[in-house]
Structure 1
Amino acid sequence: SGAHIPGAMLVDFLNIRTSREIDDRNVRYMTPGKAEFEELMQS
């Protein structure tokens, strides 16, 4: 039955991906940093 926790909100992880600059290059579809991720999950 998958890894869904009963009562938990479903999240489309493609919608929370972000761009980050790493070594002067823009890398797309990265997960956000810890603080930003926690804020998104609590909203």
Structure 2
Amino acid sequence: TLKKAKMMATIKNACLPKLICELTSSPYQEHLSDMEKSLLNLI
């Protein structure tokens, strides 16, 4: 649906950059889980 697509676009544009910033600037970067590391590698 259009509403769902719009929501996904919002998440992608607003949430992902924030999440990436938090993960990459985190002092705990070396303690990231495998899932988080693979997410960062994808981006």
State the TM-score, normalizing by the size of structure 2: 0.31
Higher RCO (Cα < 8 Å, 6 or more apart): 2
Query: Whose Rg is larger?
Result: 1
**Which structure has greater helix proportion?**
2
State the TM-score, normalizing by the size of structure 1: 0.31
